[in-house]
Chains A and B, each alone.
Chain A
């Protein structure tokens, strides 16, 4: 019997990519960053964005890496999935990350970046009418996540709290 060897598509920090079943998509070491999975259930297509910052208005330099910010990354991912044949109206989301890795007494906004990233992601998804079907956010552990567009399972591995599937 022939078996299709599934490929693991890896997404780096401030990066995004898309995948079709049976391949799976993964990003490692999410700390305060948020991993956003958008998927079209019927067509078994999914995309993953690994964002670092909530808002592209935070960018102080000219050309912007759109995969770095929640607001620009999500809309771009929606467009790319659309090009692959996904229906924009049937996209669903799962998100993970946004941890607070270090506790500091300082009140600087930078230190709260994890929760701010999560807020920004939710706001953007809401604006695009994309519903969140699973989330594992906050806390203070790093996460490595892998999404399988065939089973729609998001596997989340942490160092301190084991593995879970949402």
Chain B
């Protein structure tokens, strides 16, 4: 029996709350960084096949900027912050004040890449520290790694740990976007939190619920 079979709707609610708290904190950090109002969607928690996970992230062929980090400590897992390429470009233009900065064609300049990595760092750090406070667990992020590549190539990396026990992933997905703007101009990012299979037990236990 796969571990995903044991997950019931209460568990999903708890995971949704985890996404809410983590991404809420990250949205605040993003808002401060950009000096803009940032909107957060209600997190969506789903048990999906690996192919469906690729679709959630935009389709395995689509090019995106992804910041990936491993979570070490009491509840290991993987975390992604994914941005469509145009939005990543808009974002770093705002951030470094250079309208000519681009990420659409290699070779990329160092400054935009570094800005994007720092963005991932700040957002995932604030997500994790909120999660850590909420659960009272020690969670340490690895140094985030950045890739501008196909969604499938980026996301499959975070599924390796999981793929050893299951063909499904429990994804906590939260979308952030800039308020009051057309979709094409907004910062529209996705957080994906993928706890390792053994971590679900720890996460639920820390909140007083049995798996």
Contacts and interface: CB of A to CB of B under 8 A. Distances in A.
Interface of A: 12-15, 28-33, 52-53, 58-62, 65, 68, 99, 101-106, 110, 113, 140-144, 159-160
26 contacts: A12-B51, A13-B50, A13-B152, A13-B159, A28-B59, A29-B60, A29-B61, A29-B152, A29-B156, A31-B152, A32-B153, A52-B159, A52-B160, A58-B164, A68-B167, A101-B147, A101-B157, A102-B68, A105-B143, A110-B160, A113-B157, A142-B150, A144-B61, A159-B148, A160-B106, A160-B148
A32 B160 contact: yes
A-B residue pairs, 6 tightest by C-beta: A29-B152, A142-B153, A31-B153, A29-B60, A102-B145, A142-B150
Nearest to B49: A12
Contacts, number: 108
A143 B70 contact: no
Contacts of A144: 61, 150
A65 B167 contact: yes
Nearest to A108: B70
Contact of B142 (A32, A65, A104): A104
Interface residues of B, number: 36
Nearest to B106: A160
Interface string B63-77: 100001010000000
Contacts of B51: 12-13, 15
B166 interface: yes
Nearest to B51: A12
Contacts of B50: 12-14
A85 B3 CA distance: 40
Given A12-B51, A106-B142, A52 B163 contact: yes
B153 A143 contact: yes
Contacts of B155: 29
A101 B165 contact: no
A33 B145 contact: no
Contacts of A142: 149-150, 152-154
Contact of B156 (A32, A104, A106, A160): A32
Interface string B1-45: 111000000000000000000000000000000000000000000
